A = this chain, B = another copy of it.
Amino acid sequence: MELVYMGKTKDVYQLDDGNYLLKFKDDVTGEDGKFNPGANTVGLTIEGAGKAALRLTTFFFERLERENILTHFISSDIEHQTMKVIPAKSFGEGLEVICRYRAVGSFLRRYGKYAEEGQALDAFVEVTLKDDERGDPPISKDALEMLGILSSDEYETLKEMTIQISSLVKAELAKKGVELYDIKLEFGRNDAGDIILIDEISGGNLRAYKDGEYIEPIALTKLILD
């Protein structure tokens, strides 16, 4: 198998059968040695982070499969920290779709004139471009359409899937008394052209709190699965 992409938190290998293998690493995003799911750079390495991310991702992707929500997931090998997935084409050079239940992070940095820190938001969805150089700028439905990245219908599908997936994750966390503040999802198109969820769902791409305290990714996996 051939290494085709080295990501910040995962490496991607192409398999002979046309599928791909994601290798979950122990690197996590952050700044100044501190974990931050909203950051664009690898901040630090935490032993066990890759396995914890894969375990939670596997749990959620299998759960989504039972709800008939399309994802790229085929199977996981927890021991080797790998996940087998079908091929998917990204939208443009990649989008991130964020669903927010509390006003924190970049939402607050942008709209702090109108929102209190931690204020409840009603599954607010926004899209950002994956573009490290330009700080992952938020982009509107109209702009996505004009730049040929997403059609108007695809945007609505993406938004609907995002709310559906996020509310499922929120409900699962709530069973353990954990509150989901926000979550960042990625989507792509499968060979048939359908929109499918790709990447991962773990502590690395969401903010979870219990009794007002932020829960680190590894602790989150333990809290939800063990």
Contacts and interface: CB of A to CB of B under 8 A. Distances in A.
A18 to B, nearest CB: 29
A176 interface: no
Given A121-B146, A146-B122, A111 B129 contact: yes
Given A113-B93, A149-B114, A138 B141 contact: no
B138 A140 contact: yes
Interface in A136-168: 137-143, 146-149
Interface in A50-72: none
Contact of A114 (B121, B142, B147): B147
Given A142-B126, A143-B124, A110 B137 contact: yes
Interface in A72-106: 92-93
A125 interface: yes
A109 interface: yes
A175 interface: no
B114 A134 contact: no
Q: Count identical subunits in the complex.
A: 2
Contact of A146 (B93, B124, B146, B148): B124
Interface residues on chain A, size class: 20 to 34
Interface string A110-130: 111111000001101110010
Contacts of A125: 142
A194 interface: no
A47 interface: no
Interface of A: 92-93, 109-115, 121-122, 124-126, 129, 131, 133-134, 137-143, 146-149
Given A110-B137, A111-B134, A114-B147, 7 more contacts: A92-B114, A93-B113, A112-B134, A114-B148, A114-B149, A124-B146, A138-B140
